[in-house]
Chains A and B, each alone.
Chain A
Amino acid sequence: MPGITLRDVQKSYGGYTAVTGLDLEVRDGEFLCLLGPSGCGKTTTLRMIAGLENLTGGSLAVGDRVVDCPDRATFVAPEKRGMGLVFQSYALWPHLTIEDNVGFGLKLRKVGRAERKKRTQEVMEALGIAKYAGRYPSQLSGGQQQRVALARMLAVNPSVLLLDEPLSNLDARLRLEMRAELKRIHESFKTTIVFVTHDQWEAMTLADTIAVMNEGTLQQLGTPDDIYERPANRFVAEFVGSPPINILEFGMEDELVQGARRYLGQRHPQISGAGSIGIRPESIRIETDKAALREADFSAPAKVSGILPTGGSWIVELETGGRAMFMNTHVAPRVSVGDRLWLQVPARALNVFDARGVRVAAADEVLSHAAA
Chain B
Amino acid sequence: MTVASALAGQGGRATRLLYRLRIAMREPTTLIGVVMALLFAYLIIVPIVSILLDAVQTQFGDERRTATEVGGWTGYYLHRTFASPIARDMFWEPLWNTLSVAFSTIAISIVLGGSLAWLVSRTDMFGRRWFATALIVPYMLPAWTFALAWTTLFKNRTVGGQQGWLESLGVSPPDWLAYGRVPITIILALHYTPFIILLFGSALRRFDSQLEDSARILGAGRGRIALSIILPLMKPALISAVVLIFAKCLGEFGVAYVLGLPVKFDVLATSLYRNIGSRQTGVAGVLAGAIMLLGILTLLVDAYLVREARRYVTVGSKGSMNRQSRLGPWRLAATGYAGIFFLVAVGLPLLTLFLSTVMRVPARFTWENFTLDFWIGRNLDTVALRQGILLTPDFWAAAWNTLWIVGSASVVSGLLGLLVGYTVVRTPFRPLGSFLRQVTFFPYLVPGIAFAAAYLSLFAVARGPVPALYGTMWILILALIADQMPYASRAGLSAMMQLGKEPEEAAQVAGSGWFHRMTRIVIPIQKSSLVTGVLLPFISGIKGLSLFVILAVPSTDVLTTYSLRLVDYHYTQAANAVVLMVAGLAYFGTVAAQKLTKTNLAEGLGG
Contacts and interface: CB of A to CB of B under 8 A. Distances in A.
B11 A105 contact: no
Contacts of B505: 50, 52, 78, 85, 87, 91
Contacts of B516: 108
- Which 3 interchain pairs have the tightest Cβ spacing? A91-B502, A71-B11, A105-B510
Contact of A79 (B16, B19, B502, B512): B512
Interface residues of B, number: 32
Interface of A: 50-52, 54, 70-75, 77-85, 87, 89, 91-95, 104-105, 108-109, 152-153, 156, 162
A58 to B, nearest CB: 11
A92 B508 contact: no
Nearest to B11: A71
Given A72-B7, A73-B19, 17 more contacts: A52-B508, A54-B19, A70-B19, A75-B22, A78-B508, A79-B508, A83-B509, A85-B505, A87-B505, A91-B500, A91-B502, A92-B506, A93-B521, A93-B525, A105-B510, A105-B511, A156-B510
A368 B596 CA distance: 74
B318 to A, nearest CB: 19
Interface of B: 4, 7-11, 15-16, 18-20, 22-23, 26, 428, 500, 502-503, 505-513, 516, 521, 524-525, 527
8 contacts: A50-B505, A52-B508, A54-B428, A71-B9, A73-B7, A73-B18, A74-B4, A108-B511
Most chain B beta-carbon neighbours within 10 Å: one of A77, A83, A84, A156: A77
A75 B26 contact: yes
Contacts of A153: 510
B511 A109 contact: yes
Contacts of A82: 511
Contacts of B19: 54, 70-71, 73-75
Most chain A beta-carbon neighbours within 10 Å: one of B506, B508, B516, B524: B506
A73 B506 contact: no
A117 B16 CA distance: 45
B16 A70 contact: yes
Contacts of B26: 75, 77
Given A72-B4, A93-B521, A156 B11 contact: no
B17 to A, nearest CB: 9
Nearest to B509: A85
Contact of A54 (B10, B23, B507, B525): B23
A93 B511 CA distance: 15
Nearest to B526: A95
Contacts of A80: 511
Contacts of B22: 73, 75
Contact of A73 (B8, B428, B502): B8
Nearest to B513: A79
B549 to A, nearest CB: 42
A67 to B, nearest CB: 13
A89 B521 CA distance: 16
A104 B511 CA distance: 9
A8 B139 CA distance: 61
A87 B509 CA distance: 11
Contacts of A89: 500, 502
B507 A87 contact: no
A192 to B, nearest CB: 15
Contacts of B507: 93, 104
A79 B9 CA distance: 25
A71 B18 CA distance: 10
Contacts of A50: 505, 509
Contacts of B428: 54
A340 B512 CA distance: 67
B390 to A, nearest CB: 43
Given A91-B505, A108-B511, A75 B9 contact: no
A289 B213 CA distance: 56
A87 B506 contact: yes
Contacts of A81: 509
A108 B511 CA distance: 7
A54 B511 CA distance: 17
Given A74-B4, A77-B26, A89-B502, A95 B508 contact: no
A71 B15 contact: yes
Contacts of B23: 54, 75
Given A70-B16, A75-B23, A95-B524, A108 B510 contact: yes
A81 B512 CA distance: 11
A74 B8 CA distance: 9
Contacts of B509: 50-52, 78-79, 81, 83-85, 162
Contacts of A109: 511
